[in-house]
Amino acid sequence: MFKNKKFARYSITFMFLGVLFMFFYSGLQVDHLNILTPFLQSTYGWDDLKITNPVTLASMVTIGLYLIIGAAFVKYGVKKILVASIIIMALGCAGIAAAGENYGLYSASLFVVRVLVVPLQMGGFMLAANWFIKYRGRVLGVITAGSPLMSVVGIGTLTFLVGNYGLNAYYMIAGALLVIAVLTALGIKDTPEEVGLFPDGSDHAPISESNDSGEFISVKQLLSEARAWQLIISYGILQFVIVAMMAYMAVRYISLSTPEDIPNLFVSKALPWLSLGAAAGIPMSYVIGWIDDKLGSIKASLVLNILFLFAVVPLAIMPVGGDSTLMAVWAFGVACMTGGVPTMHPCITSYVYGRKHYMAANKWIMTIQAIPMAFALTFMGAFNQMGQLTTAYYVMLGLLAVSFVTILSMKNIPDANAADREYGALKVKA
């Protein structure tokens, strides 16, 4: 991959920015609510549903946004949409900082931020699919390490900043986003072909695409296929669980606090474990990507599904006052979960549909997956209001069993780009 120096320059720039895309995608999608919610509750007396309602509404809007962003990427190019989205998202963060008790400004700003994390994720995914085939899993394993990296340093850093500077911390986030927008504008190209290169730094066009005309896939055709629904159901569940888990992890620990846990169990015990466990789990993003490159996306997805249990089971059985072993396992599971799904979602979609059809399929698949994901906060909030938060975790375990069986049912689906993958190339030589 790095033998071609020109390709190496572009790919290294993309991987660096890709880590930042996923860092801020995870942080500004739901992770920051773990700090924002307790702060606004204690400062202004707002309840958790009032605080998170703008995010729930934005999540509903993103259902249609996946289609719009996907179409815009194809028509105008990934870079143009990414840069514009990042700049507007920076303005949203500045709005949160300026809001104070102005709930209207707070709601509008938080809504904008939640909506515009979508292009960060979709843009990173599409760029990876465009630039890499043979090394796709490992490259995505690198950039999606940004998600668990948020768990390692982002949440702790934001907790410190909000604790010391209040909502002014969001001005700092806005500044960081503007820097990323400039770097994206200067260092990213939509496809390797745009600068006279081929995927993976190869000296020839992909073999698997030699007979692929890139014919348009209609939504009717897509949704009539079992493979589309297998993707929608399996990874729709995984994404629902991530949003639910990440948005309510602080609330879960606070509900299990004792008088000795000052200021609460999340800050006093869980947060340090999250940093340590997540650091150990960061390499798992790469490991899952490596499994994808070597063994294929179906086997890698099954491994990922199992790793979700490390995150969910500990919170389901966590005792009042916490347990160090369970917290360590939970923290490792969170890193695997938040790094693994962003790695594998584009991998398995490309596996099933190929590089040329990736966005045509992905925009519809992600749109439908966004429907249940939009209600993840409402799901957790309802159980929390009833005092039955533990039950929510057992429901998620049942959903993970469904996703595992669904992925297993995909074992006979062939890799659309097999001839350009390592395992496919070995079969061809044999």
The confidence score (pLDDT) of residue 145 equals 87
Total length of the chain: 430
Rg, the chain, Cα only? 21
pLDDT digits (tens, 9 = 90+) for 297-307: 999 999 999 99
Residue 367: count other Cβ atoms within 10 Å of its Cβ.
20
Tokens of 179: 């820097």
Residue 276: which of 342, 321, 335, 340 has the closest Cα?
335
Residue 263: which of 250, 281, 244 has the closest Cα?
250
The confidence score (pLDDT) of residue 342 equals 84
The confidence score (pLDDT) of residue 316 equals 96
Residue 425 pLDDT exceeds 70: no
- By three-state DSSP, how is residue 122 classified? helix
**Distance between CA atoms of residues 92 and 83, nearest Å:** 14
**Distance between CA atoms of residues 69 and 327, nearest Å:** 38
Contact between 352 and 55 under an 8 Å Cβ cutoff? The reply is no
Contact between 130 and 190 under an 8 Å Cβ cutoff? The reply is yes
Tokens of 402: 């469904």
CA neighbours closer than 13 Å in the CB half-sphere of residue 2: 5
Burial of 398 per CB tally in 10 Å (0-12, 13-18, 19+): exposed
CATH of 5-191+217-429, one of 1.10.540.10, 1.20.59.10, 1.20.1250.20, 1.10.10.60: 1.20.1250.20
Q: Cis peptide before 263, with omega less than 30 degrees from 0?
A: yes
Q: Specify which of 133-137, 310-314, 362-366 reaches the highest per-range mean pLDDT.
A: 310-314
Residue 169: which of 161, 177, 160, 159 has the closest Cα?
161
Q: Residue 376 is which amino acid?
A: A
- By three-state DSSP, how is residue 203 classified? coil
DSSP class of residue 260 equals T
Contact between 89 and 375 under an 8 Å Cβ cutoff? The reply is no
**Distance between CA atoms of residues 152 and 387, nearest Å:** 29
**Distance between CA atoms of residues 326 and 232, nearest Å:** 31
Q: What does 360-403 look like in DSSP terms, one character per residue? A: HHHHHHHHHHHHHHTTHHHHHHHHHHTT-HHHHHHHHHHHHHHH
Domain boundaries, given as residue ranges, for the chain: 5-191+217-429
pLDDT digits (tens, 9 = 90+) for 3-36: 889 999 999 999 999 999 999 998 998 889 888 9
Cα–Cα distances (Å) from 223 to 132, 155, 302, in that order, read 26, 38, 23
Give the Cα-Cα-Cα angle 67, 69, 70 (nearest 5 degrees). Answer: 65
pLDDT digits (tens, 9 = 90+) for 20-29: 999 999 899 8
**Distance between CA atoms of residues 17 and 175, nearest Å:** 16
pLDDT digits (tens, 9 = 90+) for 195-226: 999 999 988 888 877 766 556 778 888 889 99
Give the position of tokens 């099954």.
Answer: 302
pLDDT digits (tens, 9 = 90+) for 80-128: 999 999 999 999 999 999 999 999 999 999 999 999 999 999 999 899 9
Tokens of 210: 């030699």
